[in-house]
Amino acid sequence: MTIDPIGVLRSCFGGKFGTPRQPGLCPSAWGTLVFHTAYRSEEAVRGLDGFSHLWLIVGFHQALAQGWHPTVRPPRLGGNRRLGVFASRSPFRPNGLGLSLVRLEGIDTAAPEAPVLLLGGLDLIDGTPVFDIKPYLPYAEAPAEVAGGFAHDAPPRLPVSVHRSACAAFADLPTRAQTLIREALSLDPRPATQTDDDARVFGADLGGCNVRFTIANGLCQIVEIHRGGAR
């Protein structure tokens, strides 16, 4: 079977680093799904606005070149313990496919590329190919009794502060962008094996900005913000 993308995601996350590892962890995250020409039809999305959430079947396009691995090291286990790839959500999978539950915030029927889906709660980077969409059905897909294995509980969060050197730039951002940055950085985007290092400054492309930050002693501090992405 050969499958082709039906569209592409335009996301507030400019790269893998800083993007949450699961959907819904950054409720303020936003993006759009722009359909490719062959699938750009209002008929194809008729009735979709009755659903609050959608499943997206996507491609891990930046991981394909590295191939798949039978075992992986989940970040939730500190990156030191190996599990089978099928017991994880690692992008290094045989077919490079991912599944993401996103919030449908609206359908733009006036855009030049209409219809465009307006999405929230993303965990996907800009340019992600989308292969299919399915509406989320609460009665069938929200069982009362579940077991989440090694990731049953939500990950811990770090407090995030803004250093005086970045206060003006941060205050100048839209409220949703400010919230997104705080949500994303509170999840500690560093590799699982990374230890605190006062001298290390990290950078992540979030909400159209390159955000520079440090993490030390259990605190994340934003030290620089540059509009327009990576520097």
Q: What's the pTM value of the predicted model, to 2 decimals?
A: 0.91
Q: Which carries the bigger pLDDT value, residue 142 or residue 79?
A: 142
173-225 residue pLDDT tens: 999 999 999 999 999 999 877 766 667 899 999 999 999 999 998 999 999 99
- What pLDDT, on a 0 to 100 scale, did the predictor assign at position 76? 83
Domain chopping of the chain, boundaries:
7-141, 160-227
- What pLDDT, on a 0 to 100 scale, did the predictor assign at position 230? 47
Per cent of the chain over pLDDT 90 is: 77
29-78 residue pLDDT tens: 999 999 999 999 999 999 999 999 999 999 999 888 888 989 999 888 88
The CATH code of domain 160-227 reads: 3.30.2310.20
Specify the range with the lowest mean pLDDT, choosing from 107-111, 120-124, 178-182, 189-193.
189-193
User: Rounded CA gap, 32 and 84, in Å?
Assistant: 33
Q: Give the chain's mean pLDDT.
A: 93
Say which CATH superfamily domain 7-141 falls into.
YaeB-like (2.40.30.70)
Give the pairing of strands 219-227 and 160-162.
parallel
Query: What DSSP line would sit under the chain, residue for residue?
Result: -----SEEEEESB-SSTTS-SSTTSSTT-EEEEEEPGGG--TGGGTTGGG-SEEEEEEE-TTTGGG---SEE--GGGTT-S-EEGGGS--S--SS-EEEEEEEEEEEESSSTT-SEEEEES----TT-EEEEEEE--HHHH--SS---GGG-SPPP---EEE-TTTHHHHHTS-HHHHHHHHHHHHT--S-TT----TT--EEEEETTEEEEEEEETTEEEEEEEEETS--
In angstroms and rounded to an integer, the radius of gyration of the C-alpha atoms of the chain is 18
Looking at the DSSP bridge assignments, the partners of residue 215 are 220
